[in-house]
Each structure stands twice: as C-alpha cells, then as structure tokens.
Amino acid sequence: MDKSSLQTVRETNTRVGRNSPAKRPWLTTLLAVIVYSISGAAISYPQTILPVTVAVSIGSGIGVAIGHLVARSRLRLVAIAALVGFGLLCIATAHRVLLDTVWLAAAIGPNAALAWSDTFAFGGAALLCAIGLRTSTLRFRVLSVFEVALVSLAFAELLVAHRNGAINRPFEIADPIIAVGGDPTTVFLLFGVGTALLIDLMLLHERSLIRSLIHLSIVAVVLLSTLYTTTAIGLPQPPTSLDHLGLRQGDTPAAKKKPEGHMGQNRGRRRNDQELMFRDDYQSSANRVPLSVVLLHDDFSPPTGVYYFRQSAFSQYNGRRLVASVGTEFDRDIIESFPSTQLNMPEVPNLLGERATLDTTVALLADHKRPFALESPVVLQPVSNPDPGRFRRVYRITSASLSIDLFSLFGHNAGSRAWNVEQFNHYKQAPEDPRYHELAKRIIARLRPELKSDPMAQALAISGWLSREGVYSLRSRHAHAPDPTADFLFGDKTGYCVHFAHAAAFLMRSIGLPTRIAAGYVVEESARRGGSTIVLTGENSHAWPEIFLDGVGWVMVDVIPERSLDPPPQPPDPDLQRLLGEMVRGQRPLPYASGRSFEPMIKYAGYLSVFFGQIVPFLLLLAIFVFYIVKIFRRVMPRLSSSERLPRVVYRAELDRLSELLIRRDYGESRERFALRLRCITPSFADLTRLHLRAVFGGKREIARLELQTITTRIHQELRTSVPRWRRITGVIIPWSWLMSR
C-alpha cells in the first residue's frame, strides 16, 4: 500500500480496459468539421457576401471529412500537396473564365454572376485547403500548431477593427449592440471565449463523446467565470507602459523613487511623482488607444489652432534635466490630485483682457496621476460618472485660456512683480555650459532692434529657430549622454518633444527668461470636426516650453519641427468620437443608420440579460445543491437500508468513495477484474465485491450487517493509508463525483 502501488493504480486507470472499445475516429472527425466550418465562416465573413461565407463554411467542413479519408490512404503527403495545389490552380482558372464569360452575366445578371463565381471559387478553395491542412495534421501531429493558428487568426481578423480602443467597430457587430445600450467589449470577450473553446475542440482527442462534453463544459465554465470576473471588476485599461511623459498612473518608476531635489537637496513638501524621461528608440505602436474624452461647453477656437491640456509642470533643474518642483511656492497652477469636492485653484492668471473663461468636462478612460485642464485651471469639481464600466473618472473644470495670438503679447515683462528673488532664480537656473547662452544670443541677434529686448519676441525667435533646425523622431540616440539636451542641441538636433522642450527652456533661461516645461496633451482644432467632443490618445501626449509674462501668466511657446521622420498622428475616428461623447453625456448611443427597428433586439437582449444574469446562476446553484443532496443520500443509505438491499447500497457507497479519488471502473471491465486491479491499495474491496455479487445473483446466505461494516471499516483504513489526505478532501468537496461511479 505504498505510494508506488497507488501510482500503479492511477496509471492503470488512465489506460483503456481490456474490453474497452477502440478509439472512435468519427468523434475526432466531427469535432474537426465543427472547428473548420466555424473558422472558415469567421475568416470569410468580413470580406465577402453571405452566400460566399456559407460556401466557405460548408467547403471547410466537407474538406475536413475528406481529409480524414485521404490521411488513411497510401498517398504520400507530397503527392497530396501537389494535387491540392493543382486543384487550387484549376479553381482560379475557372473563376477567371466565369468572370470573363458574357453569357453567364447575360443569363442571370452581372451581380448574380459575380456572386455565383465567388461562391464556387472560395468554397472550392476552402475545401481543398481543408483537405491539405487536415491530412498534414493527421500525418504529423506537430503540424497541429497551424490549425491552432488558423482558429486564432480567423477570429483575430474578424475583430481586428476593434483594436486600439475602437469600441464602435466592426460596425456590423458593434452597431446592434450599441443600439440596445450594450457594450461591444463584453461581446468581443465572448468571442474570445468561443475561440478558446474551438482551440480546445481542435486539440481534444477523447474516446467518449460524454467525456468530451464534460471536458468542454469544464473549460466553458472556467472561461465564462473569467469573463464574468472581468466584467464585474472592470474592463481592461489601455496599456500604460508606453507613456514617455509619465501622464498616466503606473507608467514610470518615478513615483517609487526618492524625489530629486534642487541640486540634490529637497526644499519642500510637494511630491515629485512625475519625470520627463529621455529615451532612445521610443516605440509608440499602442498609442492610438483613446485615453480620455473632453467635452467643450463653450465654442472656443484657440488663436494658435491647437488645444493645450496641461497636466504637470517641470521647473526645477537637478543638474541634468528639469523635474517637478518639490517646493510648494512654485507651479501653484498645477492640480496635485483628484479632489472629492470643488477645488478653487490658489493661483490663477489674470482673467481680464488676454484670457477667456471656458468650461469643459473630462472623462478619463485610463487612470491618470492627476487631472489635466485646458491651459490654466481655475475651478475643478467632480461630477457623477455616467458609465463607471467605461470611464475611470469624470470631472468638470473651468479654465482660463489665451484668447489673443502670441504676437499681441509683445511688450509684457518677463516674470511676475509678486515673485521674490528665490522664485526668479528657480525659473532661470540652467546648465553652466556656455554654449546655451552663446547660441541664444546668436538667435535673438536676428530680431529687429526694437524686439531684441522683448521677452515674448525672444521666446518666439528661439522656438522658431528650433522648429526650422530640428528634426522630429522618436528613434533618437541621446538618453545616455551626460547632458542629453546638449547632445541633442549641439549634435544632430534629432529628437522628440522632450528634447525640443528642454532645449528651448535652457536657451530661454540662459538669457534670463523665466521658463518651465509643461506636459499633457495637445490636439489640433481640426480634430473636433466641428463638434464639441475631443478624444485624446497616447499620440497626443506632448511636452512644451512655457514662459511667464507679467499680467498674463504662463504662455505656451511650443516648438513644432518642420521636418519629421515619423508619420503624423492619425485623426480620430469621427464615429468613435461621437459615440464616446454621447456616453459622457449619459445618452444612449444610436448608430447613424437608424432606419431599422431595434425594439425586438432590445426585448430579446433584456430576456438574455435576465436569463444569464439571474436564471443561469440560480440553476447552477440549484444543481450543485441537488448534487450534494444526492451524494449525501447515497452515502448514508447503508445506515437506513433494509438487510436485503444492504449489500447493494454499501457497494454503491464505496464505489462513490473510490470515484472521489478518481479510481473508477473502465467501460467493459468486470467487477471482479476491477477489484483485482485495486488489490494493491485496498485488498478488502475484493471481499466487498464478492458479497455484493453473491447478493445480486441470488445467494441464499443472508449477509450480516456487522460483516459488511467490518469490511467497509477495513476499506476506509486502507484508503486513508494509501491515498493522500488532500486528495480525499478534494474528492469530498466535488459534488458531482458520484456521477462517475460505475
């Protein structure tokens, strides 16, 4: 009764009994036909019309059935591949002939001729490809990876339009769901569950249909539980690892580091949890995912044609770059955290003359480190979230934005008359490298004499020079230099916004202009497309220099390189922009093509919601309860049964106990042989089997209750010795183990 004996019994249980039927090839063929048919339909559905999709599905299923027959033939795989290739060539030729034939179009019409030609071609091609792939897989099991790839690619291609946060695509799937007030993401998660089940079907090779259904049911329950957990906890957030500006929560390790102080010393209590990172070969492949939605409550057109949403500021020079200030007397126009009540900013610019007061609502699709606002915030207040499953936070903010062009700001002094010497020095500190000052002097020397001493003119001259001389590229090589900004500015002048912003800030500071770098999101006015909704993505994240003018406040002096090695950001999808805007407003989005009546769909969706949300969980709990009741009843029956039925119910109870331990009689295996197979872990089970058979087949001697109790006690002791405790406890917990008793 040692562990090696128990292992022997377990290995025996995994083998087919001597009288068990052979493996059923029809079951494997049926499963493969189902998988290929569904995958073929998924591949062709987005590309063509419904008759062609049906033909591809049917052709794929028939091809699998033929492939099983071909795999048993004596044809070599090379010959089969050649025949499949020749067949595809013939189909392509026939398709071209049918398209070029005039009589077919004249007989049934050009549209019908095209449809029938495509149906014949794609259906035949699917049949031949299925024959070739299935035959190859049956001959060489290692090629099953191609079948798995086929299923995965079929559904990935079906839902590819949904990538990058485009919840409104593909239209033919998303529109009906949105029309009834549903979330397409949940349906696409169900597509993922279906894909996993199909892959499981593809890899399943069972001898029994019942076993196959049981295994698939277990997988389905696990996947649906995962889906329910996902929808209950919340939808997956957009990726955050690619945010080089540190705008979102958890995207940089800066929050876990000790803040860098002024020249190595901390002089304040403000938390420095954001940094502008210099990176080499920065990748932005996932930056098209929507991160936030902004609703403009005022029809405001910025003088520069660009909306600037400021989230953070970097004004403290740490000897290498600008970081967020740790002093509470600096950058007081930055909101440090999300407030729970209305927040009035302690420092606001002059609201008269050069600035306009604007109201906006911001809905965050991803967690951010702090709020952002259109230029300078004045008042911020949280508002109720219209869709907590979609939006992380929603707040309303009043901002003061520049309403005049930058050239109209000539004549203002740099800095504020309310600043002390420490504040002036804070915003002017720059690297000691004399090249910054020399280059800045050469740039402003080109100004007209009356503008050479004007702060706004100097700042515009420096940003204009960088725009003309610099080259924008995310694949720069300056991050590991002792001074990345100097390596960029006095080197190849190729970099992205962090390089340009630092270069402009250091050049402006070298001539005494109070400057800082701001970070947030920048989007052109044309992205509104005439509406009031702006969708911000990772591509809109940006850093830019700002100077402070007396009586005006912080003014953006952005550097916009005229040359770029990277493609410009893609404009937002107008349908997605409209949809997200309506979600923020709390409206039920409807597709533009609203000629169809969605009332029946709404009705059926309500029924399905009640069925899967309330009835199905209740039925599952009820089934588990019934299973436990039956299990307990079968276990206690030996104490309640009459003497005539006692041998049978005792034997059944012990079979249930063995089934809990995954020790079961095989199909076709006699009870005597089963008891003989268990002699190494419970020899007493053979005695119980003998008494049971004697009672069943009409033994005249009455079996005493005490004798049966003695045998069962020995069986229990033997099982406790041979089987680990954790396995016995697990078997007791499983409610349906008695269903496997034979």
Mean pLDDT over 8-27 rounds to 46
In this structure, are residues 330 and 362 in contact, taking their beta carbons and an 8 Å threshold? no
Instruction: Examine the pLDDT at 476 and tell me if it is beyond 70.
Output: yes
What pLDDT does residue 315 have?
93
What pLDDT does residue 501 have?
95
pLDDT band at 267 (very low <50, low <70, confident <90, very high): very low
Mean pLDDT over 260-265 rounds to 36
Instruction: Examine the pLDDT at 49 and tell me if it is beyond 80.
Output: yes
What pLDDT does residue 229 have?
55
pLDDT band at 16 (very low <50, low <70, confident <90, very high): very low
What pLDDT does residue 12 have?
45
Q: How far is CA 433 from each of CA 483, 492, 506, rounded to the nearest angstrom?
A: 10, 18, 10
User: How many whole angstroms separate alpha carbon 443 and alpha carbon 561?
Assistant: 16
What kind and span of H or E run contains 178?
Answer: helix 171-179
How wide is the angle at C-alpha 233 spanned by C-alphas 231 and 239, nearest 5°? 90
Phi, psi of 514 (to 5 degrees): -70, 115
User: How many whole angstroms separate alpha carbon 706 and alpha carbon 724?
Assistant: 28
Q: In 590-724, where does DSSP find H-type helix?
A: 599-610, 616-640, 646-660, 671-677, 684-696, 705-722
Instruction: Examine the pLDDT at 14 and tell me if it is beyond 50.
Output: no
User: How many whole angstroms separate alpha carbon 321 and alpha carbon 463?
Assistant: 18
Per residue in 559-576, pLDDT (tens digit) is 999 999 888 777 778 888
Do the bridges between strand 393-402 and strand 563-564 make them parallel or antiparallel, or are there none, so unpaired? unpaired
* Percentage with pLDDT > 70 across the chain: 78
In this structure, are residues 30 and 11 in contact, taking their beta carbons and an 8 Å threshold? no
The C-alpha R_g of the chain, in whole angstroms, comes to 37
User: How many whole angstroms separate alpha carbon 742 and alpha carbon 17?
Assistant: 13
Mean pLDDT over 672-686 rounds to 87
Mean pLDDT estimate for the chain: 80
Residue recorded with tokens 């019994």:
9
Look up residue 515 and give its DSSP letter. Answer: E
* Percentage with pLDDT > 90 across the chain: 28
Per residue in 282-304, pLDDT (tens digit) is 665 557 788 899 999 988 889 98
User: How many whole angstroms separate alpha carbon 310 and alpha carbon 345?
Assistant: 14
pLDDT band at 101 (very low <50, low <70, confident <90, very high): confident
Nearest to 279 by CA among 120, 478, 430, 132: 478
Of 238-247, 256-265, 510-519, 694-703, the range with the highest mean pLDDT is: 510-519
What pLDDT does residue 362 have?
95
Contacts of 223 (CB under 8 A, 6+ apart): 193, 196, 197
CA 68, chain centre distance (Å): 37
pLDDT band at 263 (very low <50, low <70, confident <90, very high): very low
What pLDDT does residue 702 have?
67
User: How many whole angstroms separate alpha carbon 1 and alpha carbon 718?
Assistant: 8
Using CB atoms within 10 Å of the CB of residue 31, give its burial: 0 to 12 exposed, 13 to 18 middle, 19+ buried.
buried
Per residue in 315-326, pLDDT (tens digit) is 999 888 999 988
Q: In 72-143, where does DSSP find H-type helix?
A: 77-100, 102-108, 110-139
Nearest to 241 by CA among 272, 283, 293, 280: 283
Top pLDDT among 331 and 265 is at 331
What pLDDT does residue 128 have?
93
Per residue in 176-188, pLDDT (tens digit) is 666 666 667 767 7
What pLDDT does residue 705 have?
80
What pLDDT does residue 243 have?
53
Per residue in 485-534, pLDDT (tens digit) is 999 999 999 999 999 999 999 999 999 999 999 999 999 988 888 788 99
Position 524: which residue type? E
Per residue in 366-386, pLDDT (tens digit) is 888 889 999 999 999 999 988
Instruction: Examine the pLDDT at 281 and tell me if it is beyond 60.
Output: yes
Mean pLDDT over 8-20 rounds to 41
What pLDDT does residue 257 have?
41
What pLDDT does residue 82 have?
92
pLDDT band at 102 (very low <50, low <70, confident <90, very high): confident
Helices (H) and strands (E) in the chain, counts: 23, 16
User: How many whole angstroms separate alpha carbon 4 and alpha carbon 12?
Assistant: 12
What pLDDT does residue 367 have?
86
Poorest-pLDDT segment among 34-43, 411-420, 430-439: 34-43
Per residue in 688-698, pLDDT (tens digit) is 888 888 887 76
Per residue in 136-171, pLDDT (tens digit) is 888 887 787 788 887 777 777 777 767 677 776 676
- For 586-629, the DSSP string reads T-----S-TTS--HHHHHHHHHHHHIIIIIHHHHHHHHHHHHHH
Token digits of residue 646: 């006692």
What pLDDT does residue 238 have?
52
Instruction: Examine the pLDDT at 310 and tell me if it is beyond 90.
Output: yes
What pLDDT does residue 210 have?
59
User: How many whole angstroms separate alpha carbon 537 and alpha carbon 530?
Assistant: 19
Per residue in 580-636, pLDDT (tens digit) is 888 888 776 554 444 444 455 555 555 555 666 667 677 778 888 888 888 888 888
